[in-house]
A = this chain, B = another copy of it.
Amino acid sequence: MANPVAVSTGRLEAFSDGVIAVAITLLVLNIHVPAPPLPPGKTLGHELAANWPVYAAYVTSFLTIGIIWINHHVMIRRLREPDHMILFLNLLLLMSIAVLPFATDLMAAYLRQSSGQNLAAAIYGGAFLVMGLFFSTLNRHLLLIKPQRLRQEIPLERRRQILARSVSGVIPYAIATALAIVSSYATLAICAALAVFYALPISSGGTAAET
């Protein structure tokens, strides 16, 4: 019988859902309205269009958090009951998600600057990379170290396969982060392409594919 004082999988899911839902919705606070009245010669259309890095980073981060939410649910649903290590690793994962509104804001603010743009892009790609690493670490703990806590027995072969997908999903983010040295646009473009690729239901490989 389950220990009556332990944290249930249900409440772990509810709390994680809450943090992820708040983080994904807070992203909108990064999109600012140009203060009216506009200076002569400026139009609202021009001002809004000039903000395109904000929208690109918004959509990229929104879709990426949405994908991690799907993957998180798939992962946790395999779990019968968390132990303290799982709670701790999940908390680190949530922290890496909760910090994304800042990383997104930083990326959008510096994308087209002549100074700081590479570091901002590296932090943006790096934030996704860290999130993916925490996700894989938690997944590894569940699948390989504590398989007795799974809801249903899964053959070792299959568990290794699931984990391999998790880990391989991290690689493109490592590349996106490394490319920040070359160009902040390259980092954003890769992250955006990954978000669309994983979000689109056609993809049958990679992080989101477990679903």
Point out residues on A near B: beta carbons under 8 Å. Answer: 4-8, 11, 13-15, 17-29, 31, 33, 35-38, 43-45, 48, 58-59, 62-63, 66, 69-70, 73-74, 77-78, 83-85, 87-88, 91, 94-95, 98-99, 101-102, 105-106, 109-110, 113-116, 119-120, 123, 151-152, 199-201, 208, 210-211
Is B36's CB under 8 angstroms from A113's CB?
Answer: yes
Which among B5, B38, B59, B115 is the interface contact of A115 at CB below 8 angstroms?
B38
Q: A73-B11, A85-B201, A102-B31 are in contact. Are A78 and B21 (CB under 8 A)?
A: no
Docked pose: A36 CA to B58 CA in angstroms: 18
Q: Told that A15-B17, A59-B95 touch, could you supply 17 new A-B pairs with CB distance under 8 A?
A: A4-B77, A6-B74, A7-B70, A8-B73, A18-B25, A19-B25, A21-B22, A22-B25, A23-B25, A36-B109, A58-B99, A62-B91, A62-B98, A63-B95, A84-B208, A84-B211, A88-B201
